[in-house]
Each structure stands twice: as C-alpha cells, then as structure tokens.
Amino acid sequence: MTVEIDSNSGFCGGVIRAIGGAEKFLAERGELFSLGAIVHNEAELARLQHKGLITLDSLNAAPASFTVSPKEGSTAKAPVSANKTLLIRAHGEPPATYELAREKGFEVIDFTCPVVLKIQKSIREASRRHSPDGQIVIFGKIGHAEVLGLVGQVDGKAVVVENLPQLEVAIASGEIDISRHIDIFSQTTKSPTEYDELCAYLASRMAAPGLLEVHNTICSQVASRHKELVDFARGHDVIVFVAGKESSNGRVLCDLCASVNPRTHKVGSVAEIDPSWFSVADSVGVCGATSTPKWLLEEVAGHIKNLH
C-alpha cells in the first residue's frame, strides 16, 4: 500500500497568520481569548488551548465570567483577568463586535484575513454606491462567522442564500427583488462551480441586463485547491479526508473528493480510521481542509502506513 499526503492541503494563509499571531502572543503573555474557534479543527484547538488560548462562545456573557465552548473540549468557566486580550480570528466580525469587546474591557488584536477585510470593504462600498435601492446578496452558510461578519457591514441588510433552491424561494417571495440592482458576493470558502451556477441563474432571472453585479470573492487559495484536489482524488484508490466536524470548507472539499472518488472517507483523527477501507495494493491519498494542520495529516498518513 502506498500513502501520499496532498502537498496542497493544510492551513490557508489566513489561518496560518491567525495561529502564528496567537502563538506569539501566548508565548509572551500566557493567556489569550478568542471569540469563536480560531480554527475549525478540534485537535489543533486542543493544542492551542494547552498553551493558554481560551475560546469564548459569545461576548454577551456577564463580564465576571465567560463560558468556554464545550466543543473545544472544556466546560470550565474562564475567569476574566485584568488586561485581557481578545483575538478576532481570520473569519472576521461585524463592527458591533469590536464595540462590544471594548465595552467589555478587552484589548483587541485583529487577525481578520486580509482577503475577508477586502470583501467587507467591498460590501460597504457596493451598498453605499447603490443606496437606497440596491440589494446585497451573499452566497454562504447562514450563521457562519464569516457570513455574519459580511452581513454586519451593512447592518444586516443583506439576503443570505445557501444554495440554488433558497435563491429561487427568495426570488419567488420577493425577498430578492429582480427589478432592482443586486450586488452578489460569496463566502470565501464556497464551491466556485456552485457560485457560477447560482450567479448564472440569478442573471437569467433579472428584469433587465446590467442590474446584476457579480463579485468574485471566493478565496483564490480555495478556488485553486478545488481543481488540484479533483486530480488528487482521481489519482488514488482511496481518499482519507481529514477535517474537523465544524469545518464548512472541509464539508465542501470532502464532497468534491467523494464526487470523483466514491472510496472517500472523512475522519477527524486517527481514531476514526477503519482498516477495512484499505487493501494491500491500494494507493491512498490523505488530504484535508484549509483548517486541517499538516501535523495531523502526517499523523493520519503514518497510521495508515502501519496498517499493512
């Protein structure tokens, strides 16, 4: 059996930047709060938690104590210390979060990915340009942190659709008015093919040409990974896709692998690997999401190599 790790898998630039910043801060100060999981990967979160990173579910907790997310492996109450610092992760946040953090006495260190910051700015500008009649539509996961941050740029005045059927419903109900100007944006980690289909459909429904402005906001690192991953998945007998349960990018990329290679299996750690997936002559490809650490891909590959 041969086992190959996809050289293009592993953290994207935005996640590397945020984790690097958090580790540097923790080495100096020993404690850092993060609003939401800094990365959607349980194993990496546990590693950072050990170094002093405390994940908060919300800033709306009482100032005296915050609940540490149970998903990150702890249900303990984290005491709020003086001079506490809050990290804004790569997904970004709406402006209201920055205000609330300061009200709660946090010093903020902002690791919003530069790509996301650019989209946030672009949404604010599009909204101003076409005010008061323009509409903002976002193709993304409802409730996802990045999407909440994007919607927050225009005080929540944006329609979020997760897929084509939702777009059809929004048009039919009048929530999206096809006789008015529309600026459409995508969450950075969505499927480029799906976004193209959605935009083509919307363009075909608009009341007049020129009313729709499509913003190409899928992250280039994600878009190129889609193409490379299809080749990688086709080139192996079995694919083991490593991603955290909460990773939306992980779901999209794993589905992509499964669409070209039915012997695709998704795991969060070595404990979920089933030896019956492999036979001695198989070539196995190990790959992951933009939130999957390289060390975990190596651990999974090493475990599979030792099976036969």
What are the residues binding ligand SF4 (CB under 6 A)?
12-15, 90, 113, 115-116, 188-189, 219, 221-222, 290
Q: Least distance (Å) from ligand SF4 to the CB of residue 92?
A: 9
| Beta carbon nearer to ligand SF4, 179 or 220 | 220
Phi, psi (deg, nearest 5) at residue 68: -80, 135
Residue whose structure tokens are 């702890």:
74
| Beta carbon nearer to ligand SF4, 184 or 211 | 184
| Beta carbon nearer to ligand SF4, 145 or 214 | 145
Residue whose structure tokens are 């994600």:
222
| Beta carbon nearer to ligand SF4, 134 or 250 | 250
CB atoms within 10 A of CB 128: 10
Residue whose structure tokens are 């990329």:
253
Q: Least distance (Å) from ligand SF4 to the CB of residue 222?
A: 5
Q: Least distance (Å) from ligand SF4 to the CB of residue 120?
A: 11
Decide the pairing of beta strands 238-242 and 283-288. parallel
Which of 44, 72, 146, 246 does the annotation list as catalytic? 146
| Amino acid symbol at 139 | F
Catalytic site residue 146?
A: yes
Q: Least distance (Å) from ligand SF4 to the CB of residue 39?
A: 10
Of all residues in the shown chain, the one whose CB is closest to ligand SF4 is: 14
Of 138, 162, 128, give the one whose Cα is nearest residue 217: 138
In terms of phi and psi (left: phi > 0; alpha: psi -120 to 50; beta: otherwise), the region of 34 is beta
Catalytic residues, by residue number, are: 146
